[in-house]
Amino acid sequence: MGDMLSNSVTGLLAFQTALDTISNNIANVNTPGYSQQTTNLVTAPATQTGVGSIGNGVAVDNVTRSYSDFLAAQTNTANSSYNQLNTVSTLAASIDNMFSDPSTGLSATLQSFSQSIQTLANSPSQTSARQAVLNSAQSVISQFQGYQGNLTQLGAQVNTQIGAEASTISSLAQNIASLNQQIMTAQGSNSSQPPNSLLDQRDNLINQLSQDVSVSTVRQSDGSVNVYIGSGQALVVGTTAATLTATPDQFNSGQDDLSLQTGGSNVDITSALSGGTLGGLLQFRDQMLIPAQNALGQAAITLTNLVNTQNAAGLDQNGDVGGALMTVGGPQVLASTNNQGNASVSATVSSLGGLTASNYYLEYNGTAWSLVDSASGVASPLTAGSGGTLSGAGLSFTVSGTARAGDEFLVEPTSNAVSGLSMLTSDPSKIAAAGPLVTSTGTGNGGTASVASATVPDTSDWTRGDYTITFSTPTAYSVTNASGAVVTTGTYTPGTPLTPFNGIDVSLSGTPAAGDSFAIDDNANGTGDNTNALALAAILNQGVLNNGSTSLSDAVNAYVGTVGLQTSQAQNGATAQQSVLNSAQSAQSAVSGVNLDEQAADMVQYEQAYQAAAQTIATAQTLFESLLSAVES
């Protein structure tokens, strides 16, 4: 009976503990990171007697949590991927939205600029048509600047967020390290009783960390967990946490780099980081933001060069050779703060066809310079020119001072372009609508020849004036200027152009007779000429980019397509990763989560057992009383 009583008591105590655990489970049904706990009961060691082994009731072995390292790691990985893609997709949408309306986008604005020039070509002498061209050029510039402003703001936002992420990661690391310490202490005192709530807290922190950056963990025998981020950089080792900080990069280009600080060492790990919100921010910055700024800059440089070059090929309303109408920011070369030499490098755009939307590293190895694409790492050919200049990637570099081996420069060919974009004139007469020359066939010419074309390839080589080509025989000609002085003489072969004179190229068609003359006059009065305006209107469709294969209009359209594609990829990726994350979370929750119905059933089960144990005590009492009454009577 003594056994019966004490066995019942062990039952009562054990079931109480089990009911405590159940109530704890129910209380924590909505606690993030909580793992369902189970009271593990064992049979108490039996007493060996002469009549056999008599049981001593039940004992509580321990309370364990339902947890799977594998499923937790899967959830963390899915969480990192989802957060990276979700960050990219959210930020990408802000670039995507800039181009949301095709009728007000850059493409449409450029097109209306081109059309305003065509309207000018219809009436080149009309000031209002000229003013309209300047206005639409200004709209193009405003649009470029608006886009650039948005991108700059986005860049600042990304930098701020990177800094915030770095401090979040550092503080999570600190907390994980301190939990490691507490868990080690708890396990040291009683290794068979797992400190469930501490473990849950730590796993929850690691899960939070996986939101910020991709994370991997290695469990140690002392109960601590080592945490690695990115491609294996140790963030927490035992009870030591490293600090992640965002600092300006070595070129001070305005982008922050991330470095990991442990003890005395400070290592730049920007390129090794991926996953999570931080990975998303870095991916967006490198793959969308910088390329977007560069593409915009490339378009601005191309437009400015094309407009200025074509304007300089004609004559403005005052009869002067057209000047530059627009100006644009030049390439930017930034020296690394780690450079040992005192060299400085400047760059200018030398070829539109070679110009790219990439950034480059210009590196000196002690004997030679090399140019490497900063995104792809592919070397770009660099050729030495006269006067110690180097040219590559559509740029011409001038190095002054002395570089030492290992010195490095960041070359941003186009990122600075839009900030320097502006109109150089507000005078509508400065638009060169007219061609430089006007030709006529002499009155009384006996031959069949006429001027097929007369052009000035480069107005800076042109000596202005009226010229007359006179044939003394059908094959010999002389060129005289307005005062009758002979400029040049030559031999004419039908089908081949005349020898260029004073910057003018002339081609004749047909056969001239002796005595025939042709006037090649300066078109200074040609306010009604629209030849150059037509050429200006056509510049958007001129193949100039990618070594002449792509027009500006195509490049702008293709760029909008690229932005759309990147955004939709990020959006689709985020959606797909969302469902991966959901299923990983539900798999983990199937193991660790609390189900109230299950808890209710368990509760009923233990309640009944508790009642039975209590009933056993009552029975023991009855038995005892019947014995007592037998003795009393």
Partner 1 sequence: MRISTSMINQSAVNGIMQDETALSTTQNELSTGLSINTPADNPVGEVELLQLDNTSSQYQQYISNGQSANTNLELENTALTSSTTTLQSIRDLVVEANSGSNSSSDLKDIATQISALESQLQGSANSQNAQGDYLFAGYSVGTQPFVRGANGSMSYLGDSGAPSVQIDSSTSVQMSDPGSSVFMDIPAGNGTFTSAASSSNTGTGVVDTGSVTNAAAWVAGQYTITFTDPTDYTVTDTTSGTQVASGTYSAANGGEIAFNGIQVGITGAPAAGDTFTVSPAGQQDVFTTLDNLVSSLNNAGSGAAASAQLSSSLGSSLQQIDQALGQISTTTSNVGSRISLISSVNSSVTSQSATVATQISNLSGLDYASATAQYSQEYVALQAAEQSYAAIDQLSLFKYL
Which residues 513-542 are close enough to bind partner 1 by CB under 8 A?
521, 523, 525-531, 534
- Cα diameter, the chain: 166
| Residue 49: CB minimum distance to partner 1, A | 42
Binding window for partner 1 (CB under 8 A); candidates: 121-129, 330-338, 398-406, 490-498: 121-129
Contacts with partner 1 in 557-586 (CB under 8 A)? 557-558, 560-565, 567-568, 571, 582, 585-586
**588 and 78 Cβ atoms separated by less than 8 Å:** no
Among 553, 584, 610, 620, binds partner 1 (CB under 8 A): 553
Considering only CA atoms, which of 471, 481, 550 is closest in space to residue 520? 481
Distance of alpha carbon 375 from alpha carbon 532, whole angstroms? 40
Site for partner 1 in 17-76 (CB under 8 A): 29-30, 36
| Residue 630 in tokens | 């037998």
Q: Output 258 or 438, the one with its CB closest to partner 1.
A: 438
The number of residues in the chain equals 633
- Does residue 592 belong to the site contacting partner 1 (CB under 8 A)? yes
Give the pair of three-digit tokens for residue 355.
């110009």
User: Using CB under 8 A, which of the segments 91-99, 186-194, 331-339, 354-362 binds partner 1?
Assistant: 91-99
Q: Which stretch binds partner 1 (CB under 8 A): 154-162, 239-247, 385-393, 593-601?
A: 593-601
Positions 444 through 483 that interact with partner 1 (CB under 8 A): 444, 446
Beta carbon of residue 513, minimum distance to partner 1 (angstroms, whole number): 9
Return the number of the residue (378 or 590) whose C-beta is nearest partner 1: 590
126: contact with partner 1 by CB under 8 A? yes
Q: Terminal CA-to-CA distance of the chain, rounded, Å?
A: 21
φ, ψ of residue 276 in degrees (nearest 5) = 70, -175
Give dist(CA 224, CA 237) in Å, integer.
8
Number of residues that bind partner 1 (CB under 8 A): 72
Of the pair 373, 521, the CB lying nearest partner 1 is at: 521
Taking the C-alpha atoms of residue 445 and residue 439, their distance in angstroms, rounded to an integer, is: 14
Sequence-distant (≥ 6) Cβ neighbours of residue 599 within 8 angstroms: 22, 25, 26, 29
**Alpha helix (H) residue ranges in 190-267:** 196-212
Q: ∠ at Cα 77 (75, 82), nearest 5°?
A: 90
Contact status: 204 vs partner 1 (CB under 8 A) = no
Residue 190 CB, nearest approach to partner 1 (Å)? 29
> Measured from the CB of residue 604, what is the shortest distance to partner 1 in angstroms?
7
- C-alpha span between 605 and 613 (Å, rounded): 12
Binding residues among 416-445 for partner 1 as defined by CB under 8 A: 434, 438-441, 443-444
- Selected range binding partner 1 among 243-251, 253-261, 475-483, 589-597, rule: CB under 8 A: 589-597
- Candidates 40, 100, 549, 621: give the one binding partner 1 (CB under 8 A): 100
* CB nearer to partner 1: pick between 26 and 379: 26
Question: Residue 82: enclosing H or E segment and its boundaries?
Answer: helix 69-98
Report the C-alpha gap between 207 and 576 in whole angstroms. 20
